[in-house]
A and B are shown apart, each in its own frame.
Chain A
């Protein structure tokens, strides 16, 4: 026990050191990145319906500024003396208000329950497959009334404590490979910087709709390809008596002997850093683009690095912790985290993540792949449904409002289905595994009693 504690202390010290260096380096190198630029935080002091102007005091300066209301903003939309996020546009060199959203929504009982339910299932999912949750938590918070940036920030701040608890549990179960997690996380943070650069380039060139389209297409293409493969692999394993084999690609990668060579004890592989770094980079780039890096990180660790699904999903929690902490500091610096939302999701997700983590000790390796593949494919449907909307915004096709609203409905319900499906498979597999384990225990006890 003492040795274990010593080991944990050493690991925590290494993580903190790596983290500190990384956050300093990345802040100096990329100027933070993440939080949006064209958005101002502050309070409205006055609004004049006649001239359609409002006096706004930004949080970062003492000087109030007078802003014109954009066409889509009515004087009634301006809440005085409430902290708001203002999205600014420019017309003829003059700034105007494009949209206003109140930063802190009023929390009603319904909203509270909704946050707890989504938090619980999101936690269960990430405890079990190592990632997930963000893809449904962020849109849920937005549909409850949180501004997009606040939803992303608050979700990020809930992700790292949840991942920390999950990673700790799965480390105790002997599943998480801390070293692999660290190597992946460092390269993933670099990948995030590249991802942000690409995003900014697209945003500048094709605007918001173009950026949305790029994100959605990347999301759908990657999720469909990787999700189908994961699902197919799981199906093969389920049919063939669940004999897990290391993929041919991973075996080929293990033959690459370019130094530095790294040995990952829990994953049971020795690999060149030149193999793990690109997997980490891709995870980070994807995390910056589609907000679910785990959907590429976990399959990457399984099929390229050669770890089992159990070790890969556990290690993803280590990566999620480090990246989540780094991201939360970035969002915290911009002052966009609504801690109430963070803590409400956390209240339930800390139960969910531990349930999901212990659930993995009862299931066969392929069940993790089944859940992961299924979730990826359904989430791809959700995002795919939005592609025609972005295409019409860019002027490539025309879409009547009725079809657009149907597509939005499909998108939303696909997310709900993804979460429900995952919840049902995980709970079902866990209950089955627990019953089997109990029966085995009873049998062993009976045998022992008989032998005495």
Chain B
């Protein structure tokens, strides 16, 4: 975290917006087709890859969104 030592760090507004839009769009698409999705995701066997893969996908996308939102709000780890 050495590079964060500079007092005026640029806030990741663009990142927050891009990841935010992508994440929210993914949520909307998924919930708009919830009956189709829940049906296919619970078939068991090889279909296990669907819920596990989706959870991973959201953890990257939404995790990056959450991380940049916290940075934009100025909530960051202690600088050493």
Say whether A and B bind each other.
yes
- List the interface of chain A (C-beta within 8 A of B): 41, 59-60, 83, 103-104, 157-158, 160-162, 164-165, 169, 172-173, 325, 328-329, 331-340, 342-343, 346-347, 350-351, 354-355, 357-358, 361-362, 433-434, 437, 441, 445
Contacts A333-B45, A351-B70 given; 18 further ones with Cβ under 8 A? A104-B35, A161-B59, A162-B59, A165-B66, A328-B51, A332-B50, A332-B51, A333-B48, A338-B42, A339-B41, A340-B31, A342-B51, A343-B54, A350-B59, A350-B63, A350-B65, A354-B70, A357-B77
B47 closest partner in A (C-beta): A335
User: Do the beta carbons of B44 and A333 come within 8 Å of each other?
Assistant: yes
Cβ–Cβ < 8 Å partners of B79 in chain A:
437, 441
Query: Mostly helix, strand, loop or mixed at chain A's interface?
Result: helix
Separation of A161 and B75 alpha carbons in the complex (Å)? 22
Q: What is the total of A-B residue contacts with beta carbons within 8 Å?
A: 122
- Tell yes or no: B78 within 8 A of A by CB: yes
Most B CB within 10 A of own CB, among A335, A355, A358, A437:
A335
Cβ–Cβ < 8 Å partners of B59 in chain A:
161-162, 164-165, 346, 350
Separation of A158 and B39 alpha carbons in the complex (Å)? 19
Separation of A172 and B47 alpha carbons in the complex (Å)? 34
Separation of A325 and B56 alpha carbons in the complex (Å)? 10
| The 8 nearest A-B residue pairs measured at CB | A332-B48, A161-B59, A335-B44, A361-B78, A335-B42, A337-B51, A358-B77, A165-B63
CB 8 Å contact bits of B45-64 with A (1 = contact, 0 = none): 10111111011101100110
User: Do the beta carbons of A329 and B75 come within 8 Å of each other?
Assistant: no
Known: A160-B55, A343-B54, A347-B62. A433 touches B38 (CB 8 A): no
B63 closest partner in A (C-beta): A165
Cβ–Cβ < 8 Å partners of A83 in chain B:
38-39, 42
- Tell yes or no: B16 within 8 A of A by CB: no
Cβ–Cβ < 8 Å partners of A103 in chain B:
38, 42
User: Do the beta carbons of B77 and A60 come within 8 Å of each other?
Assistant: no
Separation of A105 and B59 alpha carbons in the complex (Å)? 24
Separation of A355 and B34 alpha carbons in the complex (Å)? 30
Separation of A445 and B5 alpha carbons in the complex (Å)? 12
Q: Say which residue of B31, B34, B50, B69 sits within 8 Å of A351 (CB atoms).
A: B69
Most A CB within 10 A of own CB, among B42, B45, B70:
B42
Q: Say which residue of A325, A334, A340, A343 sits within 8 Å of B52 (CB atoms).
A: A325
